[in-house]
Structure formats: structure tokens, C-alpha cells
A and B are shown apart, each in its own frame.
Chain A
Amino acid sequence: MTDTTSQSSLTEKLLQRAAPGRAEFEDLVIVPIFAVIVALIVGALVMLATAVDIETIGRSYLALLQGSLGSVNAISETLTSAIPLVLAGLGLALGFRAGLFNIGAEGQIVVGGIAAVIVGFSFPGLPWIIHLPLALLAGALAGGLYASIAGYLRAATGAHEVITTIMLNLSSYLLLSWMLGLEWMQRPGRSDPVSKSVLPSAELPRLLTDIDPNLRLHAGIFVMIAAVILVHWLLFKTKTGFEYRASGENPDAARYAGMHASAIIVFAMATAGALAGLAGANQVLGVLERATPGFSSGIGFDAISVALLGRSHPVGVLFAGLLFGALEAGGRQMQVDAGVSIDLISIIQALIIVFIAAPLLVRAIFPWGFKKPAGR
């Protein structure tokens, strides 16, 4: 009996770590800061190991800073990169709160982007006030439906969402490459797989073109802020959100309280997918203005890190998304200035999550700075 209780209390603690109810300051602020610092140090060690000299390492971290915050253009790039990360991260955070580990944001972004681009190039003559929301909605709907396949399978058969969503990710790439070769989808006069361009009435307008026509920041930032507020309201102020959190924190208790576990799983996956689909729609309507092979560019996987780093809290996700957007934008600058591959950024990101998800490890590395855990 002690066995099961101690185990269940431990799983509770672990779930709390992924989706804490009332996280303490220490876990919320100190651990992430330590994580970022340690990850940057290990990143430097990786560069040293691949024969990058110390001066270049200094230059690359300087470029990382400049490329993310150093100029108006850098800040615009940071925000532009952050928008899809925050949107998809919010979706994943919702899933984590409901106890679902959805790795499928990538596929949901792809499917959402496809739907948005189809609506975006289809209806010529629509005023933008109808066309743009319609395209965004199409993206959200497609992403939601795609994700709810995995949700339904989890609810009906118990198939683990990690495996099904990964398979849906892989299928979505193939779906994209097939659709980009279709005659009505492909850009006329092009033999390479690129979709038709989105009509101006469905584009997310660029915001800062008055300052400099190259600034890419687009109106998706309002969608992002609205989504943060909406998800916060949904999670913490509505009955549905309470049910998500309850069944994530203690599925048995939630079931005994009369909540429909299966319906919650499907709905939570659908909302998560809708947000990821919205992220895909943002990319095609705001940044690329068309669908290209690989337009999702791993955003869905970075969003997992964003959601974990943000402790599955909407505001946390916002800040984590901004941090990752900055790393992304800075990483591009780093590649240009110092000649260090941008893939280094993904190493740093992975390390950040290791330290976030295993606070015991951070405590083992930095025994000072933390109060002793209670009861030891």
C-alpha cells in the first residue's frame, strides 16, 4: 500500500513539475536562470570541442546578443520568431496541463499552414476583414482536427499520444510535399514545390514598414497576445480549464468527480492543435506568404521546449517563447558573423530543458543558492 501511495505522490510531484499548480519562486525563476547559464556554458564547451577558438566563441555569443536585442531589426526578428513559438507553445502547455504529452505540434503547424494558405490564395475579392480571419480560422480548425485524431485514439484505445503524434508529424510532411505538387496548389509557372502566394487580403500586415521596409514584424503579434490572454482565461477562469487541470493533475480524482476523461482528452488535444495550427497559419500568412516544403522548420519541436520552460503557464510560455525567439534570431546572426552553425542553438535549447525538467540535477550542480528540500 505504501508502495502505491509513495509512487502516486511522486508522479503528482512530477506532473507538478511539468504543470505546477502554485509553483514557488525558486522553481519558477532561479532554476530557469541557472538552466540558461549552464546551457550557454556547455554550448561554449561544445564549440571548444569542435575546434572553434575562444575568440570566435566570444564573438558568437556577442552576435547572439546583438542579433536578438541589438537593434530595431533584431528586436523585430526576435518577436517574429517568437510568435509561432508562443502560439504552438501555448497549445502544448494546454496539453501538459491536461496530462497529455503532445509532440505533434509540428504536424499540426504543417496542416494548419496548408489550410490557411489554401484559404489565403483561394477567395479573391474578399475584403481583408473577412478573408484574414477566415484564413486564420481555417488554420486553427485544420490543426485542431489533425490533433484530435491522436486525442481520439488516446481516449478510445489508449494508444500513447507520443507515438501517434510523431507518426502524424511524419505523415504531415509527406502530405505537404504531395499537396505542393498538385496543379491547383502549385504556383503557376514553377516546377519546384511552392504553393501559390497568399492574396494581399489574407496577409497578416507588416507593422513596422514605415520605419524600415525590411522589418518583418507582422500583425500576428496581436494574435499571439490575444492567445495568451485567451488561454489564461480558459485555463484558470473557466470550467473547461478546471477540468483540464484536474484531469491532468489527478485523472482518477477527476473521473470520480464525474468529469468525462475521454471527452477532455479529445477537447484538450483539439484546442492544443488549434493553437499550433494558428502558429502555422501565422507563418504562411505573415512571414512566408506561401507554403514551401519544410516551412514548419522545427517550430513544433522548439515549442515543446518553450512549453516546458514556461512551466505550462501562459505568461511563462510568453516569456519562454520570447527567449527562444531571441535565441533563434540571434543564432542566425551568429551563423553569419562568427560562422558557427545555428544548430548550436538547438543544443543550448535541449540543455535548457534538461535542467528545467530535472531540478535535482541543477541542485546537484549548484548546491548553493537553494534551500534544502523539506523533509530531508
Chain B
Amino acid sequence: MTAASTTDLAPDAKIDTHKARQARIYGIVLIGLAILVAAVFGYGSEGNATFGLSRPRDPWVIPNLVIPAASFNYIAAAVLAFLGMRQFMRGGSRWSTVSIAVGFALATAAFLVWATAGKSFSLTGMLSATVVAAVPIALGGLAGVLSERVAVVNIAIEGMLLAGAFTGALMGSLLGGWGGLLSAVLVGGMFGFILAALVVTYRMDQIIAGVVITLFVTGVTSYVSSQVFSEYRFLNNAPVFRAWKIPFLGDIPVIGPVLFNQNLFVYGAFILVSVATYYLFYTRYGLRARSVGEHPRAADTLGINVYRTRYINVTLAGMVAGFGGAWFTLGSVGRFDENMTGGLGYIGLAAMIFGRWHPFGALMAALIFGFADSLQQKLAIVRTPIPSEFLAMAPYLATIVVVAGFVGRSRPPAADGKPYVKE
């Protein structure tokens, strides 16, 4: 018992020092950002940054947002310095997370103001692009949440997205947009089922199974696109789902074009995230699924069929990823290119971790990644002194930072990645 009581005490003390250390690190990061913002973004900007909020032909036109660049950035630097000092002096206060989030937001805003100083830039356009870019990441992340909640690590999301994109293009060309979408969802579900079969029934290592599915899908899609599509172009020419403007809501300035004048996939992603949240946290099936992810043996004892639950949820995850994959073809260009998903499935996994294995969290994280992505695309147009390759790296580096910074603080389902053998 004495051993137990000492081990009871020790972690507490450890957590306290850990928290204090973390708060100090946050403080240093914030002060560093303040110096960066003041020295580079504040000192280096002249004139006004003009952010366009609405287009001239919108029903309600609101004036552009004009910000004096240098003064805005100095103020931002001052706020950052204040937050940093506060973190540093009063380590471990409960505002740590908020401070660091506000800090990063301010630094990003300062960067944006610096980059657009003396020019003008459509803020609404960028936010709209953010939501669009977030769709595949959010759906990938949601697929990750659905399968990891039943303790199946899904590295195959990238492959499922690619399969969805490919099927969307092929079947969309043959059957029209809706047929393509349905087929993409079904093929995604099929790969989910294959993943479940490999890891649940054949007990293959989950990560190897995921990598192999991705390799296989990459191989098949590249093979068909160079063997068949290059010759029969009509097979790779699918109709595209255009934006549907929701009446009235779509006319609201800024919010309207960003949220209510998008295509099917954006609305679909929002609906799926809500439905998945309801399913996982407010229905008995969701509770069962989560119990399989946390403690499969206990779930089994209570009469839940662990294998079947895993099969169903991983197949559902595949269907979600297939829908997300269709975005690449049916939601944007209507044409499939080799490897067109470009690692977004893995960024989706990072979004899942960042979002703490919660559908809404994954969506929020995906919006942040989408923001990084659309930011780099817009900045490449505005021309900044930073080479475009480094801007394009931003989402990847952000993923690394997120995975490294948050993995310790967000807890995966307890049985995540472990196969279950019924006795």
C-alpha cells in the first residue's frame, strides 16, 4: 500500500511542474511571436492593407476593411507581448490554451496585414476558399474518427479518398453526377470493408494494412488512368456539382458566400459531421461503438459483437472517405489525375488528432488546415518575398506541429490500434 500511495502522490507533483513548464514554453513562444511581429511585420509594412468584404454586385454591399498596416501590427505585437509575459509570470494559469490560440490568430492576422500592406485582397474570397479546402480534410478526419473510435487505426484514408475521386470521375462520366457520387461512396465503403476484413478477420497489422490499401489504390488508379483514360477521354469527363446558393442566407455579406453559397460537398461535410456527432454521442449504437474502442473485452462481455461493430464502423468510415474523395473530381474539376489527393488523407488524420477524436473537433482542425492552404494560394498571387514552395509547405509543417504538440494532450481511444481476439 505504501508503494501505491507514493505513486499516487508523485504524478500530481509531476503534472504541476509539467504544467508550469508548458506555460513557460507557451510564454516564450508568445514573446517570440511578439518580437517577430514587431520587427518584421510591423517595421516592414507601409501604407494600408485593404481587405475586400463583398463584391460590387452583391445585394448588400459593405465597404472594404482598410487597416493601417504598421500600427495594427505594433498593436498586435504589444498584445502578444502582454499575453506572453502573463503566461511566463503566472505559469500554469487556466488561460494557457486560450492565450496560445489567440496568440497564433493574432500573429496570422499580422502576417496577412503585412503581406497585403499597400495592396488589396479579397478576405471573403479567401474564407470561402478555406471552407472548400477544408472539406476533404474534414471528411478524411471524420473517417478517421469513425474508425479509431472502434480502435481501428485508419492510415488507408488517403487511399479511400483517392478511390472515391477515381470512382467519382469514372462513374460520373458514365452515369452522371449523382451516379458517380453514389458509386464513390460505395467504393469507399468497399475499401473500408476490406480494411476491416484485413485487420479484424485476418489480423494484419493495422498500419501495414492501411499503407498497403493506399499503395494498392494508388497503383490501380494510376494504372487505369494511364492505360484507359489516356485513350478513352470520355471516361474521365464527369459533370461537376455547381454551387447552390441558399435563398436569403446566401445574400448575407461575408457569411453568405462563405457558408451558404457552396456546393453539395460543403453542405454534405457539415451535415455528416453533425450526424456523426449525434450518432457517436447520443445514440446507443454510438455508445456501443465507443465502448468497443475503449475496452473491447468489456463490450464483448456485455454482449456487443465487437467484430461486427468494427466492420460496420470502418465501412461507414470508408463511405465517408469515399464521399470526401468524390469532392476532388465531382466537386471541383470533373477529371481524375494520378495522385490527385496529394496527402490530404494524412492531413485529415492529423486533423482528427488535433480535434481530439471528436467529429466537430476534426472539422475545426480541418478549417485551420484549410485556412493555411487557401492562405498560401492567395499569397502566391499577392506576391510576397517568401518563395511559394515554402508557403505551400505551410500545411505540412502545421500538421507536424499539431501532431507533435497535441498528441500528448489529447487521448486516443484506449484500445486504439490493438487487434481483438475473442476467447
Residues of A within 8 A of B (CB): 2-3, 6-7, 10-11, 14, 17-18, 46, 50-52, 101, 103, 153, 156-160, 162-164, 166-171, 174-175, 177-178, 301, 304-305, 308, 340-341, 343-351, 353-354, 357-358, 360-361, 364
Contact = CB atoms under 8 A, between A and B. Distances in A.
A166 B207 CA distance: 13
B220 to A, nearest CB: 6
Given A350-B216, A357-B208, A14 B202 contact: no
Determine which residue in B343, B350, B403 has the highest number of CB atoms from chain A within 10 A of its CB, and name it: B403
B198 A163 contact: no
A236 to B, nearest CB: 23
B215 A157 contact: no
B116 to A, nearest CB: 23
B231 to A, nearest CB: 10
21 contacts: A2-B423, A6-B423, A7-B419, A7-B421, A10-B419, A10-B421, A153-B400, A153-B403, A159-B404, A166-B346, A167-B403, A171-B396, A305-B215, A341-B226, A346-B223, A350-B215, A350-B219, A354-B209, A357-B204, A358-B202, A361-B204
A50 B228 contact: yes
Contacts of A3: 297
A167 B400 contact: yes
B216 A354 contact: yes
Contacts of B390: 174, 178
Interface in B186-225: 198, 201-205, 207-209, 211-212, 215-216, 218-220, 222-224
Contacts of A346: 215, 218-219, 222-223
B396 A170 contact: yes
A341 B396 contact: no
Contacts of B393: 170-171, 174-175
Contacts of B218: 346, 350
B387 interface: yes
B392 interface: yes
B405 interface: yes
B223 A341 contact: yes
B418 interface: yes
Contacts of A341: 222-223, 226-227
A343 B223 contact: yes
A10 B203 contact: yes
A50 B396 contact: no
A171 B397 contact: yes
A17 B205 contact: yes
B407 A344 contact: no
A163 B393 CA distance: 15
Contact of A103 (B201, B211, B396): B211
Nearest to A7: B418
B12 interface: no
B420 to A, nearest CB: 8
Contacts of B353: 163
Given A6-B423, A346-B215, A357-B212, A177 B297 contact: no
B407 A160 contact: yes
A160 B410 CA distance: 13
A113 B343 CA distance: 22
Contacts of A304: 211, 215
Contacts of A169: 343
Nearest to A335: B226
A14 B215 contact: no
B408 A157 contact: yes
Contacts of B204: 354, 357-358, 360-361
B226 to A, nearest CB: 4
A33 B20 CA distance: 57
B216 A157 contact: no
A177 B389 contact: yes
Given A7-B421, A163-B346, 9 more contacts: A6-B421, A101-B207, A163-B349, A167-B397, A167-B403, A178-B387, A304-B211, A341-B223, A354-B198
B389 A301 contact: no
Interface string B336-368: 000000110010011001000000000000000
Contacts of B198: 354, 358, 361
Contacts of B73: none
B185 interface: no
Interface residues of B, number: 49
B329 interface: no
A358 B389 CA distance: 40
Nearest to A301: B215
B418 to A, nearest CB: 5
Interface string B368-406: 000000000000000000010110110011011001110
Contacts of A347: 216, 219-220, 223
Contacts of B396: 167-168, 170-171, 174
B240 interface: no
A343 B226 contact: yes
Determine which residue in A46, A52, A174 has the highest number of CB atoms from chain B within 10 A of its CB, and name it: A174
Nearest to B225: A343
Contact of B400 (A158, A164, A353): A164
A11 B399 CA distance: 28
A153 B208 contact: no
A252 B44 CA distance: 53
Contacts of A156: 404
A166 B215 CA distance: 14
A198 B228 CA distance: 39
Given A50-B228, A343-B227, A170 B343 contact: yes
B81 interface: no
Contacts of B211: 103, 162, 304
B155 interface: yes
A191 to B, nearest CB: 17
Contact of A157 (B392, B397, B407): B407
Contacts of B342: 170
B303 to A, nearest CB: 17
Nearest to B221: A343
B208 A159 contact: no
A348 B222 CA distance: 13
Contacts of B216: 347, 350-351, 354
A70 B403 CA distance: 49
B400 A159 contact: yes
B212 A353 contact: yes
B54 to A, nearest CB: 34
A248 to B, nearest CB: 13
Contacts of A357: 204-205, 208-209, 212
B212 A159 contact: no
Nearest to B399: A167
A168 B219 contact: no
B264 to A, nearest CB: 28
Contacts of A2: 423
A308 B211 CA distance: 12
Given A50-B227, A357-B205, A361-B202, A164 B403 contact: yes
A123 B350 CA distance: 42
